[in-house]
Structure 1
Amino acid sequence: MAYDALLLLSFGGPEGPEDVLPFLENVTRGRNVPPERLAEVAEHYRHFGGVSPINQQCRELLAAIRADFAANGIDLPVYWGNRNWHPMLADTVATMRDDGVRHALAFATSAFGGYSSCRQYQEDIAAARAAVGPDAPVIDKLRQFHDHPGFVGPHTEAVRAALDTLDPALRERTRLVFTAHSIPTRMAAAAGPEGGRYQAQLAETARLVAERAAPGLPYDLVWQSRSGPPQVPWLEPDVNDHLTALAEQEGAAAVVVSPIGFVSDHLEVVWDLDTEAAATAKELGLAYVRAATPGTHPRFVAMVRELVVERIERPGTAPRQRLGTLPIWDTCPRDCCSTTPAATPGVARDRS
């Protein structure tokens, strides 16, 4: 297959106080989220001056991918479009059309299956192409990469580095806690043709990182950033509840929290983990360290190129770099990760 561009596809985030509410309205359009809930989430952004880190992190990743492509002979222009804030995806697709792009690949800043983390990006692409019209380029999303060495490796390094900052005397009472964005249980059950793909992939990533970073250290996979109505069941336990249980019931003295559900240190990391969970740990007397996300780690950037080369090569001939055993595919089945409006989250912030 001949491809002539790469699209970096992300969630988007506000870049000033005046952007916050319009951004959140984009995120929640059609979900009947009460204004008071939007105002509550808006305060999280205003705590950081109304600026989400995610757009700047995408700019840095964009620059790193372009440099890596140039250094390795990949002659593809790289574009960037967002789901919820500028540069909006439809505007980027229009620019790609005007530049003569006919068939592009898309790298979404989410490693996992599931509606919000994969299927919705497919829908975003379709909607953007429809808005641009019949001359819009065809855009094929690259596969999920939850077990790629370029994703597992940087998370592994970050966990090791976080552990090294703890007092060695605490090692025997240290717990490794992996986190990812919670989703409604109904949505989780629909994540993949066999159901449960989101949870299964996250569990595999957690295992792969734990085995490499801290063999023998107990670990858990928990959830963060719940935003839906209380009567709708979501994946549990919440990270704050889990920290409480570790301190009060299991006698833990220290925790390393690794946000394996994310690729960069955006708002849901710096607020939910660096602010709220860190405060919970302090109240409980737990030593607390948050491991870094991949960001622009050279191995993560190289992974993007490797995924592109894998797809450009004749299907079935390019080696797939992966460490896990769950099934993978390039093209998602039609019914993969389907959902309904009732199952979608209330207010997702920076999800990628």
Structure 2
Amino acid sequence: MADKARIGVLVMSYGTPESMDQIEEYYTHIRHGRKPSPEQLQDLIHRYEAIVGGFFPLRKNTDRQVAALEDALNRGDGRYTFQCYQGLKHAKPFVADGVEEMAKDGLKEAIGLVLAPHYSTMSVGSYIKEARTKADELGISMQFVESYHLNPSLIQALTNRVMQEMAAFSSEGTGKDEVEVLFTAHSLPERILAMKDPYPVQLMETAKIVAEKSGITRWRFAWQSAGRTAEPWLGPDILDVLRKLRHEENTRNVLVCPVGFVSDHLEVLYDVDIECQALAAELGMNLKRTESLNIDPLYMEALRSSILSVLENHKAAAR
């Protein structure tokens, strides 16, 4: 029997510091080499302190996802041997580092995938560009999963989480028609609309199908975690939506489903669990959040099947 083909998988994500003393370096990299002001740095440190309390588990979330994906890939297909590598945008190992590790291990064929289901030229597109440039330089044939926002396993995982939290509301005596569901994702600069970027459309498609499968009729989309820059970002912002729901529509029960995020990190653990919860308490609202996907087997299956689909399509085209 011929040896199984060896396939590298570059798993890319935004990255996070590994400890409190790395926050300034991390933030400086995000700002293209410009150090944050003391006030900006202190604000970020405060946010991390609020969610990690001196212990820094965030990086381990990605480590666990990469390990779980490698396991799922090698359990589910007998034709290939998969080896996963990390490539981070703003922390080590950087995207180029991950590709270099593949080359050192003698891999010639690889698939790249970002831990973000929805494509934008400003996010996923930038990861792919960087990885492709390095792969071409090192002689690695690398294909990419560009998006997987309608993958059935992803949709099912999100639907399960919405229904679980709606059941929690029901156990408190709150009917489904009394709960407003807010699907959210990381905001991006508004100029992507003029670029006909698919990001907002893909997010709305995910939200719509999850709402339908969950039997939800009261829902809307909100944006969160916008950058603090002079240019306008996509809105409405979730905090403004919460105020409107309470003051103008007298809504008291809200479920936040961050469909644009796949793991527990700053934008979920602080922006939703602390900032939104604080505002909800101030407004007299009952706010719940769906659990993050993290290493949910259904999410791993969504990644696995997306990778295999790209791999098989590439091999079919090459025949």
TM-score (norm 2): 0.89
Letter in 2 for 1:110: A
Shift of 1:34: 5.1
Determine the C-alpha separation between the residues in 2 that align with 1:187 and 1:34: 28
Shift of 1:101: 0.8
Q: Which residue of 2 aligns with 1:186?
A: 191
Q: Which residue of 2 aligns with 1:110?
A: 116
Does the alignment pair 1:285 with 2:284?
yes
Shift of 1:65: 1.3
Structure 2 portions without partners, runs of 5+: none
Letter in 2 for 1:228: R
Q: Secondary structure at the match of 2:81?
A: coil
Determine the C-alpha separation between the residues in 1 that align with 2:14 and 2:95: 10
CA shift in 2, pair 1:33/1:198, >3 Å: farther
State whether residues 114 and 188 of structure 1, in contact with CA within 8 Å, keep that contact through their aligned partners in structure 2. Answer: no
Does the alignment pair 1:146 with 2:152?
no
Determine the C-alpha separation between the residues in 2 that align with 1:197 and 1:177: 20
Does the alignment pair 1:7 with 2:10?
yes
Shift of 1:263: 0.9
Q: Secondary structure at the match of 1:189?
A: coil
Shift of 1:199: 0.8
Letter in 2 for 1:187: I
Q: Which residue of 2 aligns with 1:24?
A: 27
Letter in 1 for 2:208: R
Determine the C-alpha separation between the residues in 2 that align with 1:159 and 1:219: 11
* Bigger RCO (CA 8 Å, 6+ sep): 1
Determine the C-alpha separation between the residues in 2 that align with 1:79 and 1:291: 28
Does the alignment pair 1:248 with 2:247?
yes
Q: Which residue of 2 aligns with 1:228?
A: 228
State whether residues 255 and 287 of structure 1, in contact with CA within 8 Å, keep that contact through their aligned partners in structure 2. Answer: yes
Q: Secondary structure at the match of 1:156?
A: helix
Determine the C-alpha separation between the residues in 1 that align with 2:243 and 2:66: 39
CA shift in 2, pair 1:157/1:91, >3 Å: same
Determine the C-alpha separation between the residues in 2 that align with 1:50 and 1:189: 42
Shift of 1:40: 2.2
Structure 1 portions without partners, runs of 5+: 319-352
Determine the C-alpha separation between the residues in 2 that align with 1:127 and 1:314: 22
How does 1:170-181 map onto structure 2 within 5 Å? 170-181=175-186
Determine the C-alpha separation between the residues in 2 that align with 1:94 and 1:196: 30
Q: Which residue of 2 aligns with 1:77?
A: 83
Q: Which residue of 2 aligns with 1:65?
A: 69
Q: Secondary structure at the match of 1:112?
A: coil
Structure with greater proportional helix content:
2
Shift of 1:171: 3.3
Q: Which residue of 2 aligns with 1:97?
A: 103
Q: Which residue of 2 aligns with 1:341?
A: none
Identity %: 29
**CA deviation profile, 1:240-273 (whole Å, cap 9, x unmatched):** 1101111111111200000001111111100000
Shift of 1:196: 4.0
Determine the C-alpha separation between the residues in 2 that align with 1:127 and 1:143: 16
TM-score (norm 1): 0.81
Q: Secondary structure at the match of 1:169?
A: coil
Q: Which residue of 1 aligns with 2:200?
A: 199
Does the alignment pair 1:271 with 2:266?
no
State whether residues 182 and 221 of structure 2, in contact with CA within 8 Å, keep that contact through their aligned partners in structure 1. Answer: yes
Pick from 131, 135, 138: which aligns with 2:138? Answer: 135
Letter in 2 for 1:91: D
State whether residues 20 and 50 of structure 1, in contact with CA within 8 Å, keep that contact through their aligned partners in structure 2. Answer: no
CA shift in 2, pair 1:65/1:316, >3 Å: closer
Shift of 1:315: 5.2
Determine the C-alpha separation between the residues in 2 that align with 1:267 and 1:51: 14
**CA deviation profile, 1:34-90 (whole Å, cap 9, x unmatched):** 553344223212332466654211111112112212322342112122111122222
CA shift in 2, pair 1:97/1:283, >3 Å: same
CA shift in 2, pair 1:199/1:142, >3 Å: same
Shift of 1:292: 1.4
Q: Secondary structure at the match of 2:174?
A: helix
Determine the C-alpha separation between the residues in 1 that align with 2:303 and 2:164: 24
